[in-house]
């Protein structure tokens, strides 16, 4: 199964959202010997500008227009960023510069409990980036690509032929001259093309048309090169006017470091060093390098290091652009976490664990999010969704005790470990004695309440030394 994410008017959407909403801007590109408008904002469209006009004709409509040349590099960065965001769905992503993204999501169905929920998640992720896109989930990559040009949202698990037959020829990704030739023969839909014999099509149009049809209808597989995430980070901010005071350019630095934080979070990495470049065009450039012994992934920590560095060596010249580079990083290490530990670095450990989990499975799947509470009990006890408790933590005991405790294995253990309500958790342990016999008999157990079959509650514990689970009792 393939998910096609088509980003229409990509040259325009690659601009900042503020420009799209408040500036009468147009994007032009060189076509032959003339500059032609290829996209425009809503404000520019109200002034009479539309794609296909020559740049001189557009300027004749209004002197308020802001004409911007097409920037393929900016468009590529936009799609690269979108691929980073959608990588939580699948690592198999193909980037098409003139279309958008194609994601192979067949192996992700079980993770998202079906294709419908997977499609919902993709739409939410793309909308969060303030991009307008079409989403189509279909059995073939090329079929999904064509359908995404005609449908805003579509899910096809089988029988893609019927949907493709009703598709206009202009939605195909073949050469424009070939599409024009098909229109001159009154072949405007794929169904009309399929009525003609393959040999006759090949003789008249070559093999490009029939091969594209075979790819879309699933008769021949279509191999695509998958995207590889960038290992180095580079972003920049530019200022419309030259700035000197730190309070003016500091928000730009904050934006860059938060972009770096997101870059590292999606890769479960921490940066060892970063490099800032403060430039005033080509006239003057200053560089500041920051390093960390253990690696940092949080923007707030890099901001503190930068502030300390600027106190020793500040930037005295005017600034028109700030670049941030990071090519030295390592895998993010999450420390072993004891829920009953009240160490002073516990909050940092929680944050590292949260970043790793969100990078792997997404924030929306964390039902119990780590928090730091000044209590010896696990943080999940304070979650409002937990069943209400009564009495002291040590007063809840089952009416039926099992002696000796029964060891839990296999499916029973897996079901129980996912059903722990973490209500009234309790640590029971005895101090190790001086003799070897006392040390062998020492108790180190963490007790929990779990929901078993038929909504019964079990009292279970984990033997900390062996990581084995036992059933100790059953509540009435």
419 and 356: one domain?
Answer: no
Rg of the chain over Cα atoms, rounded to whole angstroms, equals: 30
323 and 405: one domain?
Answer: no
pTM score, whole prediction? 0.60
* pLDDT > 70? residue 395: no
266 and 327: one domain?
Answer: yes
261-287 pLDDT, tens digit each: 888 887 778 888 999 999 988 888 888
128-152 pLDDT, tens digit each: 888 899 999 999 999 999 999 999 9
The average pLDDT across 244-256 equals 88
* Of 357, 364, 359, nearest in space to 121 by CA: 364
Lowest mean pLDDT of 110-124, 196-210, 224-238, 330-344, name the range.
Answer: 330-344
243 and 288: one domain?
Answer: yes
The average pLDDT across 397-413 equals 83
CA atoms within 13 A on the CB side of 413: 11
Residue 248 belongs to a domain: yes
299 and 375: one domain?
Answer: no
More confident position, 217 or 412? 217
Q: Which range in 67-71, 347-351, 389-393 is most confidently predicted, on average pLDDT?
A: 67-71
- C-beta atoms surrounding 235 within 10 Å: 17
CATH number for 260: 3.30.1490.100
Please name the residue ranges forming H helices in 299-422.
299-312, 346-361, 410-417
Domain ranges, residue 362 = 346-382
Residue 464 belongs to a domain: yes
Residue 102 belongs to a domain: no
pLDDT of residue 386: 37
- pLDDT-derived band of residue 384, with 50, 70 and 90 as boundaries? very low
Residue 463 belongs to a domain: yes
More confident position, 467 or 119? 119
Strand order of the sheet with strand 100-104?
93-96, 100-104, 2-6, 134-138, 153-155
Into how many domains does the chain fold?
3
The average pLDDT across 165-172 equals 91
pLDDT of residue 309: 87
- C-beta atoms surrounding 11 within 10 Å: 20
C-alpha 427/C-alpha 440 separation (Å) is 18
266 and 322: one domain?
Answer: yes
């Amino acid at each position: 199964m393939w998910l096609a994410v088509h980003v229409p008017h990509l040259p325009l959407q690659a601009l900042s959202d503020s420009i799209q909403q408040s500036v009468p801007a147009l994007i032009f590109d060189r076509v032959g010997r003339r500059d032609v408008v290829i996209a425009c904002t809503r404000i520019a469209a109200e002034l009479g500008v539309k794609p296909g006009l020559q740049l001189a004709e557009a300027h004749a409509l209004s002197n308020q227009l802001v004409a911007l040349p097409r920037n393929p590099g900016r468009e590529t960065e936009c799609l690269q960023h979108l691929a980073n965001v959608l990588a939580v769905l699948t690592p198999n992503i193909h980037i098409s510069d003139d279309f958008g993204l194609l994601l192979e999501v067949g192996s992700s169905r079980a993770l998202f409990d079906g294709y419908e929920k997977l499609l919902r998640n993709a739409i939410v992720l793309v909308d969060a980036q303030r991009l307008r896109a079409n989403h189509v989930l279909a059995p073939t990559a090329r079929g999904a690509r064509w359908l995404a040009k005609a449908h805003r949202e579509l899910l096809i698990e089988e029988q893609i032929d019927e949907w493709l037959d009703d598709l206009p020829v202009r939605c195909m990704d073949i050469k424009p001259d070939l599409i024009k030739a098909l229109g001159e023969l009154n072949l405007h839909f794929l169904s009309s093309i399929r009525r003609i014999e393959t040999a006759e099509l090949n003789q008249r149009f070559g093999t490009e048309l029939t091969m594209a049809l075979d790819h879309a209808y699933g008769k021949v597989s279509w191999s695509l090169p998958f995207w590889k995430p960038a290992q180095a980070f580079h972003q920049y901010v530019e200022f419309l006017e030259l700035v000197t005071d730190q309070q003016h350019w500091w928000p730009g630095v904050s934006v860059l470091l938060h972009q770096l934080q997101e870059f590292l979070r999606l890769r479960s990495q921490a940066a060892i060093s970063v490099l800032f470049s403060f430039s005033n065009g080509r006239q003057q450039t200053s560089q500041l390098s920051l390093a960390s012994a253990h690696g940092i992934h949080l923007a707030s920590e890099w901001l503190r290091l930068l502030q300390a560095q600027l106190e020793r060596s500040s930037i005295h010249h005017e600034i028109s652009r700030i670049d941030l580079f990071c090519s030295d990083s390592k895998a993010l290490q999450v420390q072993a976490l004891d829920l009953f530990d009240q160490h002073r670095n516990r909050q940092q450990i929680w944050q590292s664990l949260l970043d790793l989990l969100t990078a792997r499975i997404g924030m929306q799947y964390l039902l119990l999010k780590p928090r730091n509470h000044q209590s010896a009990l696990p943080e999940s006890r304070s979650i409002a969704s937990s069943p209400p408790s009564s009495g002291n933590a040590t007063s809840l005991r089952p009416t039926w005790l099992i002696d000796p405790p029964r060891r839990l294995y296999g499916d029973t253990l897996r079901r129980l470990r996912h059903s722990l309500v973490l209500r009234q958790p309790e640590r029971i342990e005895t101090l190790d004695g001086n003799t070897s016999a006392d040390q062998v008999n020492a108790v180190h157990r963490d007790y929990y309440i779990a929901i078993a079959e038929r909504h019964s509650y079990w009292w279970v514990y984990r033997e900390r030394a062996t990581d084995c689970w036992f059933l100790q009792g059953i509540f009435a």
